């Protein structure tokens, strides 16, 4: 049966209308989608496209300079040519690696390692050779077709323009430079430094101070990095620069260091060590004789009125230029060789030495300040001292030279470095501990800053320690086998009173202690940097003296002590009298104290001398040489040479800001004229009758 005509004719129209509605809806959805993509999602799309086209590369800033107190550059920057290669060019023509390696004198593996180093941005050229010779640069330019993607760019590297007086290679196997450990050096930032400096905007491959002032003032010296927005194509090759933000150079440090004085201190110390090593001492090693090891040493020069560090020498040393561009395998092997005695350690702040008789400053101050009768009375020095009620151990102690001075008072005991007088003080404090307390000497030593961090603005400072029962308990807890003794007897107090036992101090601590006495009792934190100055000369920060403590030095205390310290230099019985005869600096204006401290059996003792001025410009000079011999013939001649230089070249006020013409000078300062040569006196005069426990005087 056929459908009615009206029914059949109506269905195609309905289908057409439904189809039309569907088509319109689809076009509407398509239009909505296009509108969403073009309007709503346009910013995100634009950003994504731009991100695929633009790459940002960091531009390293020029590092700030380190200047001496007059503006002379101790560390500056040298413009050098650097050979770079593009990673994309290497990917397109790998053979360029071999040719570039051969031209630059490197192995192919070395160049490939540099290219693969992830610390360099994939869009930045890879540095292959720093400070490239002109011949290499010209060859690349003349044979550009053989070196696609290889370019020459100008950059800067750390430069050390000053000089040190020449010394034999045996004295300076890694070279030398004024205050090298103080300055430090720069290397590539490592993972730990990168994590610790996340807020500073550092990136892998950035330069970072690794020691000394370079580390302590890293944020000041670094500056602010710039950036380049590079346009790259679909293959990742750079096709242009969109925008550049210049880097901001780092600020300059004006230090308190006097370059000429530093050079003299460095040279005097190194020369004396070389002399001592050549001087046979028949009294060494129980009269079996030896050549002193003279393994390490330091010289510190402070302004006692401010704490300014005028010079700080450490031996053994090195030239920080060996780190520029990456240290060589050979140099690093020498630097890390145990026979090199750790040149990276700054002995001035991290070398700890038994102080010997230089510690008598604390004992004498305690005796006079606390009113110990033995401190102000005459004592009959018979050359020996027997500890009362002693039944075990070494009960009778001798003067180091077995001399007997008879009736003596505090000044002569200091000048002649008489041990028996101070043995008695140590015992009297022990016997009257109910009146004076358990630690009167240690307490005064702490007020002088001995056994404590000084607060110097350098990394790596080590605190010494002043022997006491509390210290022994602490050391025993840390290392029971190394420090088995925890008791404290009269003999221990006697030993501590003249700077032996477990007491050790750094040269800088000793300099701070004597500076505190020399200025009347105010302890200052040592300060190496005097000011921070921008490259244009604007003073950002000026450092002022920082008081860290006080010591009571009333006239009744100061008078006898000062007379003793002056007598050490001026009295014929003084231990330093022979070393300062004929000195350029008038001995009448000087005072000081020798010190000699036991090391290990069979080795020479550690020699100390601390000298300071009593009138005119104020200086404190400390010298210590380990395994060297008596302080009078080891440290004192070095200090004399420093004072001789200061007599003709007094330190003047720092130039803040320094003159730009001085800052930018390229020629090194002339080396200081030589002063009095170091003593060639035998390293030790320890008599045959002296035992290691007795060789403690200056």
Decide: 90 and 96 in contact? Cβ < 8 Å.
yes
Tell me the two tokens of residue 6. Answer: 């009206």
Kindly state the helix (H) or strand (E) to which residue 314 belongs, with its residue range. strand 309-315
pLDDT in tens, 206-236: 889 999 999 999 999 999 887 666 665 554 5
What percent of the chain lies above the pLDDT cut of 90?
59
What is the arithmetic mean of pLDDT over 307-320? 97
What residues are paired with 591 via a beta bridge?
Answer: 612
If DSSP codes are grouped into helix, strand and coil, which group holds residue 624? strand
Mean pLDDT of 246-258: 94
Q: Tell me the β-bridge partners of 353.
A: 505
Q: How far is CA 536 from CA 69, 220, 539, in A?
A: 17, 15, 9
Q: Please tell me which residue, 1 or 273, carries the higher pLDDT value.
A: 273
Are 342 and 297 spatial neighbours (Cβ–Cβ below 8 Å)?
Answer: no
Q: Could you report the per-residue pLDDT of 345-388, keeping only the tens digit for each? A: 999 999 999 999 999 999 999 999 999 999 999 999 998 898 89
Written as one string, the DSSP assignment of 147-180 is STTEEEEEEEEEE---------TTT-TT---TTH
What pLDDT was estimated at residue 239? 59
CA distances from residue 321 to 74, 161, 176, 343 in whole angstroms, order as listed = 12, 10, 10, 14
Confidence of residue 98 (pLDDT cuts 50, 70, 90): confident
- Cβ-based neighbour number of residue 316 at 10 Å: 23
> Confidence class of residue 29 from pLDDT cuts 50, 70 and 90?
confident
Contacts of 94 (CB under 8 A, 6+ apart): none
pLDDT at 110: 85
Q: What is the pLDDT of residues 338-353, one digit of tens each?
A: 888 999 999 999 999 9
Higher pLDDT, 377 or 31: 377
Q: Which CATH class is domain 259-337+347-663?
A: alpha beta
> Long-range contacts: 232-241, Cβ < 8 Å, 24+?
232/53, 232/54, 232/55, 232/123, 235/88, 236/88, 236/122, 236/123, 237/86, 237/88, 238/55, 238/86, 238/88, 238/123
User: What secondary structure does DSSP assign to 111-154, as a single string?
Assistant: HHHHHH-TTS-TTSPEEEESS--HHHHHHHHHTGGGSTTEEEEE
Greatest distance between any 2 Cα atoms in the chain: 155
Answer yes or no: is pLDDT of 531 > 90.
yes
pLDDT, mean of residues 13-18: 74
Task: Tell me the angle at which helices 108-116 and 95-104 cross, rounded to the nearest 10 degrees.
Answer: 110
CA distance 377 to 18: 125
Which tops the pLDDT comparison, 123 or 176?
176
Nearest-5° angle of CA 586, CA 590, CA 593?
Answer: 140
Question: What one-character-per-residue DSSP string does 498-564 give?
Answer: TT-TT-BB-HHHHHHHHHHHHTTSEEE--BSEEEEE-TTS-EEEE----EEEE----HHHHHHHHHH
Instruction: Tell me the domain boundaries of the chain.
Output: 81-143+150-156, 259-337+347-663
Calpha distance 6→471 (Å, rounded): 117
């Amino acid at each position: 049966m056929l459908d009615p005509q009206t029914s059949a004719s109506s269905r195609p129209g309905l289908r057409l209308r439904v189809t039309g509605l569907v088509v319109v809806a689809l076009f509407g959805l398509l239009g909505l989608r296009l509108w969403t993509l073009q309007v709503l999602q346009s910013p995100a799309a634009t950003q994504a496209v731009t991100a695929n086209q633009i790459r940002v590369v960091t531009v390293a800033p020029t590092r700030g300079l380190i200047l001496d107190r007059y503006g002379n550059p101790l560390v500056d920057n040298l413009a050098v040519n650097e050979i770079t290669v593009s990673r994309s060019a290497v990917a397109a023509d790998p053979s360029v690696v071999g040719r570039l390696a051969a031209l630059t004198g490197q192995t192919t593996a070395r160049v490939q390692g540099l290219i693969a180093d992830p610390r360099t941005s994939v869009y930045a050229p890879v540095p292959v050779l720093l400070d490239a010779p002109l011949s290499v640069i010209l060859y690349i330019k003349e044979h550009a077709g053989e070196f696609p993607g290889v370019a020459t760019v100008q950059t800067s590297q750390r430069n050390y323009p000053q000089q040190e007086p020449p010394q034999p290679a045996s004295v300076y196997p890694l070279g030398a430079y004024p205050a090298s450990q103080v300055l430090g050096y720069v290397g590539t930032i490592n993972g730990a430094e990168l994590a610790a400096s996340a807020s500073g905007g550092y990136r892998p491959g950035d330069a970072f101070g690794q020691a000394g002032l370079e580390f302590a003032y890293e944020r000041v010296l670094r500056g602010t990095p710039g950036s380049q927005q590079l346009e790259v194509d679909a293959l990742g090759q750079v096709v242009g620069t969109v925008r550049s933000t210049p880097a901001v150079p780092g600020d300059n440090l004006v230090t308190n260091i006097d370059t000429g004085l530093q050079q003299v201190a460095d040279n005097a110390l190194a020369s004396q060590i070389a002399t001592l090593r050549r001087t046979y001492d028949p009294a060494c090693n129980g009269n079996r004789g030896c050549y002193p090891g003279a393994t390490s040493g330091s010289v510190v020069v402070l302004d006692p009125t401010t704490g300014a560090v005028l010079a700080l020498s450490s031996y053994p040393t090195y030239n920080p230029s060996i780190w520029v561009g990456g240290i060589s395998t050979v140099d690093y092997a020498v630097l890390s060789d145990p026979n090199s005695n750790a040149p990276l350690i700054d002995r001035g702040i991290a070398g700890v030495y038994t102080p010997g008789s230089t510690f008598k400053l604390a004992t004498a101050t305690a005796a006079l300040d606390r009113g110990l009768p033995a401190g102000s009375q005459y004592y009959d020095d018979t050359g020996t001292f027997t500890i009362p009620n002693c039944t075990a151990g070494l009960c009778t102690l001798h003067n180091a030279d077995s001399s007997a001075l008879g009736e003596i008072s505090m000044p002569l005991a200091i000048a002649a470095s008489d041990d028996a007088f101070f043995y008695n003080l140590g015992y009297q404090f022990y016997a009257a501990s109910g009146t004076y307390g358990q630690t009167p000497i240690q307490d005064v030593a702490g007020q002088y800053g001995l056994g404590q961090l000084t607060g110097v603005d350098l990394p790596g400072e080590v605190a010494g320690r002043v022997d006491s029962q509390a210290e022994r308990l602490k050391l025993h807890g840390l290392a029971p086998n190394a420090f088995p003794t925890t008791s404290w007897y009269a003999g221990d107090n006697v030993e501590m009173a003249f700077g032996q036992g477990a007491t050790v101090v750094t040269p800088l601590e000793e300099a701070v202690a004597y500076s505190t006495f020399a200025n009347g009792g105010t302890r200052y934190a040592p300060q190496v940097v005097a000011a921070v100055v921008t490259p244009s000369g604007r003073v950002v920060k000026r450092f002022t003296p920082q008081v860290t403590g006080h010591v009571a030095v009333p006239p009744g205390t100061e008078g006898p002590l000062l007379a003793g310290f002056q007598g050490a230099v001026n009295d014929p019985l003084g231990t330093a009298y022979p070393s300062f005869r004929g000195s350029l600096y008038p001995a009448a204006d000087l005072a000081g104290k020798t010190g000699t401290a036991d090391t290990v059996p069979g080795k020479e003792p550690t020699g100390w001398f601390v000298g300071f001025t009593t009138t005119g410009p104020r200086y404190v000079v400390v010298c210590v040489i380990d395994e060297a011999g008596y302080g009078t013939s080891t440290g004192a001649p070095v200090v004399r040479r420093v004072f001789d230089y200061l007599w003709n070249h007094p330190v003047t006020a720092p130039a803040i800001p320094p003159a730009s013409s001085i800052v930018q000078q390229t020629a090194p300062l002339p080396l200081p004229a030589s002063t009095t040569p170091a003593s060639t006196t035998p390293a030790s005069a320890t008599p045959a009758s002296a035992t290691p426990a007795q060789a403690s005087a200056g």
